[in-house]
Amino acid sequence: MKLIKNMIYSTSYQLLALILPLVTAPYVSRILEPEGIGIFSVTSAYATYFVLLGGMGITLYGNREIAYAISDIKKRSKLFFEINTLRGGSVLVSSIIFIISIWFQPQYQNLYLLQGILIIATALDISWFFMGMENFKVVVVRNTIIRIITVILTFILVRTVNDLWIYILLVVISQLFSNLSLWPFLRKNIIYIPPREWKVLRHLKPTLWLFLPQIATQIYLSLNKNMLGVLDGMTAAGYFNQSDTIIRVSFTFVSSFGAAFLPRLSSMYAQGQTEDVQKLTLKSLDLSYAISFLIMAGIMGVSHTFATFFFGKQYDQVSGLMLVQATMIIFVALASVLGNQYLLSSGRTKEFAISSLWGLVVNIALNLMLIPKIGAMGAVISTVFTEVATTSYQLWVLRDTFTLKEIFHGVWKYMIGGVVVFIVLFTLNNNMTVSALNYLIQTIISILIYLVILYVLRAPVNSLVSPYIKKLLKK
């Protein structure tokens, strides 16, 4: 049950970072307008490069290493001091390079400086330690409180198009305080280890292997917006940002499971339970399929009306972008399980890194070809094929561990459910007035239909969740 609870907490934690800003999105989109949103996304994307340089793969690496040493307080304490010191050094280097780089960018320089607060926040992020300890609750609760306050302040303080700097400040300060709020809970979980016992540099090489896939992934996410801003303008970048936001919020339901499964799988692998790790990975895959096909079908079914309803009439071009970009959710789900969960927990970091680098190469090539011709839609198509390329490589390197039959067992059942949900939603959406209430009604109907189809077809996920449902009913 602890794993299930951590999955819930992990999903909440990942969704929180995306959903609460999404709550303000209809308001902010109308206040700041497409150009303001484009400026925000481009400056944020630029700062993200340096956040990644400062983080240097430590979040995933630290999570895994703490999970390996979860029952040894001295070992995990030593790991904490070593890993955190390494991050402090990398953040210092990253901050210096960032300040020098924006010196040569007079346009939006003050906004870049505000976004730079995120780099400082990175040095204070110790969520990886608590996730490795499988203590997701302390992370989620603190973040929830701070981010809700941020949402309230956004509605109060962001009033005109000239308040873009206030919006940026609220976003970055909330992250800073979220990270600071975890430190008081640290002393109960570690003991003091003298600096003379630290071996900081031994973590440099393994963190760099994890840094490569993270930087590759984030570069392609940020590069789409930056290249759109340069090749097609800030408005196009704003359209893409809104579509991308909706899609990434939706697949967080799937990818967030990886954060909960990683420490558990890492701990099992360290104990030599290789077969159990493979079985749990396949169960995670079934759960990911079940959720991702429903979400993909749901977004595609309402995409033609949702964008203008949610963001405003100025964002009508976002509808088509959402329809196409939703197809990437399935591939993200597959890569999350095979890459973030299995490859990392089993120590196959090199293969994980190469898969992300391959995706980056595909992304850059397609962006250069498609963005000048079809603008934001080119960035969307590039994003989808990037995920296809990454997932395909992971399938290939894991051919010695899982057969294609094991990986795609029962997928057709989820696919049928998704197709039916899409048809139902598309029909309802065309025959009902557009409103929040009707979207809610359509969502409930779609979920019920999907669950019935999975039950009738006896989808593999049924055997995974039924024991927990029975336990809840007995209570």
In order along the chain (475 residues), what is the average pLDDT of each group of 10 residues? Answer: 62 65 78 83 85 82 81 86 91 93 83 91 88 79 84 90 89 90 87 88 83 75 71 73 80 65 65 74 85 92 87 83 91 87 79 88 89 85 92 92 88 93 92 87 93 89 65 54
Residue-wise DSSP of 67-125: HHTTT-HHHHHHHHHHHHHHHHHHHHHHHHHHHHHHHT--TTHHHHHHHTHHHHHHHT-
Q: What is the model's pLDDT at position 395? A: 93
Q: What is the model's pLDDT at position 21? A: 65
Torsion of CA 362, 116, 25, 315, to 10 degrees: -50
Phi first, then psi: what are they for 459, rounded to 5°? -65, 150
Longest dimension (CA), the chain: 71
Residues 6+ apart with CB under 8 A from 245: 18, 21, 22, 25
Site of tokens 């989820």? 414
Q: What is the model's pLDDT at position 225? A: 72
Residue 308 in domain = yes
Residue 471 in domain = no
Residue 425 in domain = no
Q: What is the model's pLDDT at position 326? A: 92
Residues 6+ apart with CB under 8 A from 162: none
Q: Whose CA is closest to 213, among 89, 349, 332, 48?
A: 349
Q: Which domain holds residue 382?
A: 2-409
Other beta carbons within 10 angstroms of residue 229's beta carbon come to: 22
Instruction: Yes or no: say if 288 and 334 are a contact pair by the CB < 8 Å rule.
Output: yes
Nearest-angstrom CA–CA distance, 431 and 285: 35
Length of the chain: 475
Residue 379 in domain = yes
Q: What is the model's pLDDT at position 469? A: 56
Phi first, then psi: what are they for 409, rounded to 5°? -60, 120
Q: Whose CA is closest to 201, among 61, 85, 353, 74?
A: 85
Residue 325 in domain = yes
Token digits for 76? Answer: 């995990």
Site of tokens 């010196």? 103
Residue 67 in domain = yes
Q: Which amino acid is at 221?
A: L
Q: Where are the alpha helices (DSSP H) in 271-410?
A: 274-311, 318-325, 328-335, 344-345, 349-374, 376-397, 404-407
Instruction: Yes or no: say if 127 and 182 are a contact pair by the CB < 8 Å rule.
Output: yes
Instruction: Yes or no: say if 410 and 286 are a contact pair by the CB < 8 Å rule.
Output: yes
Which burial class, exposed, middle or buried, applies to 263 when counting CB atoms under 10 A from its CB (0-12, 13-18, 19+)? buried
Q: What is the model's pLDDT at position 263? A: 62
Q: What is the model's pLDDT at position 202? A: 87
Q: What is the model's pLDDT at position 114? A: 92
H-helix or E-strand spanning residue 154: helix 136-157
Residue 221 in domain = yes
Q: Which amino acid is at 164?
A: L
Instruction: Yes or no: say if 164 and 40 are a contact pair by the CB < 8 Å rule.
Output: yes
Cα-only R_g, the chain: 22
Residue 414 in domain = no
- How many structural domains does the chain have? 1
